[in-house]
């Protein structure tokens, strides 16, 4: 990082942020519900999600398709299509201010300088008819009111920061002229351009090859440490999470079913679903044996089972699981699980 970049960043910090976190607490999601009203019925995508995000923290939201992890990200960003989506209740407080009750224009201005997002598919997230440098520079022109040449200069610096080789020459190139990994770097450059306090990465490496995935994750981690951003990493990949996350929230059928420090969670899961996920990864000592698969399928969000949503697939399920929906409670200090038999799972 060059000195001019540091200075530019410092000035951006003083001018760019309207909100200041208290005690490092950036984001508080409280009792968030999201429903999709479709002609076939109401799909309850998120059913009461709570979490906090602090400066410099990496929170991983882990879940399978339909778990509500991406909807959570979209709700925080305010990019849900409403309708069909409806947020019946819940709060998303950014530095104490509830984004959901904020005036739309005011909220729009938080996207970019305060909270920004990296998407899975970099090719469809970039506009194919404009040069990438122009697209990055646009961020500075719109939000910072810079003139064209200054903005382009900043764009080149950012491209260098995300390690795009020959950035000066490639600033005028179009998205299709970059490889998948390079496009994801450009997306990251755009996301961090205005020095956001919170960065949401929605499956940032799923579309990439393993060898490129490692580079991108390393870059994200580096940027996060350098800028002390709060990073929400949304993924289904247990491997990626283990490498970078501080805390993990495991989602199932629109709820957080387990939340813990990354080391604790991998050492000893406290929810049967987490346990099942970890066990279903092929391991060396299982060669030639059956994998410990979780039976059954994730529930249809229009007909989430009564009681614990996981009960039809759960080895531990008893009658109580079919009747009472377990709340996310602390099992041992620092470990929360939404399971009636959390202690048994943890100790068993």
* Part in contact with other proteins (CB under 8 A); list of ranges 24-32, 124-132, 139-147, 207-215: 207-215
The nearest distance, CB 101 to other proteins, in angstroms, is 35
Binding mask 124-163 for other proteins (x = CB under 8 A): ----------------------------------------
Q: Of 97 and 279, which has the nearer Cβ to other proteins?
A: 279
Half-sphere exposure (Cβ direction) of 3: Cα atoms closer than 13 Å: 0
Task: Identify which of residues 87 and 332 has a Cβ nearer to other proteins in the complex.
Answer: 332
- Decide: is 68 part of the binding site for other proteins (CB under 8 A): no
Among 3, 14, 149, 211, contact with other proteins (rule: CB under 8 A): 211
Cβ neighbours, 10 Å, residue 333: 5
Contact yes or no for 77/117 (Cβ under 8 A): yes
Q: Is there binding between residue 182 and other proteins (CB under 8 A)? A: yes
Stretch that binds other proteins, among 69-77, 82-90, 190-198, 272-280 (CB under 8 A): 272-280
For other proteins, give the closer residue by CB, 78 or 312.
312
Q: Does 293 bind other proteins (CB under 8 A)?
A: yes
- The CA–CA distances, whole Å, from 143 to 76, 113, 140, 332, 345 equal 20, 8, 5, 46, 50
For 145-271, where are the alpha helices, taking DSSP H only?
Answer: 148-161, 167-170, 180-192, 210-227, 238-244, 262-267
Q: Which of 26, 59, 73, 240 binds other proteins (CB under 8 A)?
A: 240
Binder of other proteins out of 55, 160, 237, 325 (CB under 8 A): 237
Nearest Cα neighbor of 249 from 119, 61, 34, 118 is 61
Out of 173, 214, 227, 325, the only residue in the binding site for other proteins (CB under 8 A) is: 214
Nearer to other proteins, 144 or 335 (CB): 335
Q: Does 218 bind other proteins (CB under 8 A)?
A: yes
Q: Which two tokens stand for residue 102?
A: 């904020």
71 three-state secondary structure: helix
Whether a cis peptide bond, with omega within 30° of 0, leads into 9 is no
123 counts as binding other proteins under rule CB under 8 A: no
User: Cα 198–274–76 angle (5° rounding)?
Assistant: 25
Which of 150, 212, 227, 325 binds other proteins (CB under 8 A)? It is 212
Tokens 């002390």 belong to which residue? 228
User: Nearest 5°: phi and psi at 346?
Assistant: -65, -40
Q: Residue 271 and residue 115: Cα distance in Å, rounded?
A: 31
User: With respect to other proteins, which residue has the nearer C-beta, 64 or 150?
Assistant: 64
Of 156 and 182, which has the nearer Cβ to other proteins? Answer: 182
Q: Does residue 176 touch other proteins according to CB under 8 A?
A: no
**CB-count exposure of residue 87 (10 Å: 0-12, 13-18, 19+):** middle
> What minimum distance in Å lies between the beta carbon of 345 and other proteins?
9
- List CB contacts of 164: < 8 A, sequence separation 6 or more: 170, 182, 185, 186, 189
Rule CB under 8 A: is residue 319 a binding residue for other proteins?
no
Q: Cβ atoms within 10 A of the Cβ of 35, count? A: 19
Q: State CA 29 to chain mean position distance.
A: 13
277 binding other proteins? (CB under 8 A):
yes
Site string for other proteins, 295-314 (x = CB under 8 A): xxxxxx-xx-x------xx-
Binding site for other proteins (CB under 8 A): 64-65, 165, 179-182, 209-215, 217-218, 236-243, 245, 262-263, 266-269, 275-287, 290-300, 302-303, 305, 312-313, 331-332, 346-348
């Amino acid at each position: 990082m060059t000195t001019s970049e540091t200075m530019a960043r410092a000035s951006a910090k003083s001018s760019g942020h309207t909100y200041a976190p208290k005690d490092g607490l950036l984001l508080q999601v409280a009792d968030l519900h999201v429903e999709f009203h479709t002609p076939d019925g109401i799909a309850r995508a998120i059913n009461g999600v709570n979490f906090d995000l602090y400066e410099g923290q990496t929170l991983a939201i882990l879940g399978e398709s339909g778990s509500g992890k991406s909807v959570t990200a979209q709700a925080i960003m305010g990019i849900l299509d409403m309708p069909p989506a409806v947020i019946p209740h819940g709060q998303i407080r950014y530095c104490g201010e509830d984004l959901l009750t904020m005036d739309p224009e005011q909220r729009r201005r938080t996207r970019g300088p305060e909270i920004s997002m990296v998407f899975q598919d970099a090719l469809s997230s970039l506009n194919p008819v404009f040069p990438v440098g122009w697209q990055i520079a646009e961020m500075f022109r719109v939000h910072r009111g810079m003139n064209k040449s200054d903005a382009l200069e900043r764009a080149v610096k950012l491209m260098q920061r995300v390690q795009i080789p020959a950035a000066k020459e490639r600033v005028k190139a179009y998205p299709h002229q970059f490889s998948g990994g390079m496009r994801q770097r450009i997306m990251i450059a755009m996301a961090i351009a205005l020095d956001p306090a919170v960065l949401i990465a929605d499956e940032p490496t799923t579309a990439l090859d393993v060898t490129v995935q490692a580079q991108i994750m390393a870059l994200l981690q580096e940027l996060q440490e350098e800028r002390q951003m709060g990073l929400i990493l949304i993924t289904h990949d247990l491997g990626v999470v283990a490498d970078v996350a501080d805390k993990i929230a495991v989602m199932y059928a629109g709820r957080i079913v387990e939340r813990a420090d990354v080391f604790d969670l991998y050492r000893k899961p406290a929810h049967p679903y987490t346990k099942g996920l970890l066990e279903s990864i092929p391991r060396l000592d299982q060669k030639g044996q059956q994998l410990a698969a979780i039976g059954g399928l994730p529930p249809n969000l229009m007909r989430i089972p009564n009681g614990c949503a996981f009960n039809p697939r759960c080895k531990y399920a008893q009658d109580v699981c079919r009747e009472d929906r377990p709340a996310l409670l602390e099992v041992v200090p620092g470990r929360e699980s939404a399971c009636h038999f959390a202690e048994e799972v943890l100790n068993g």
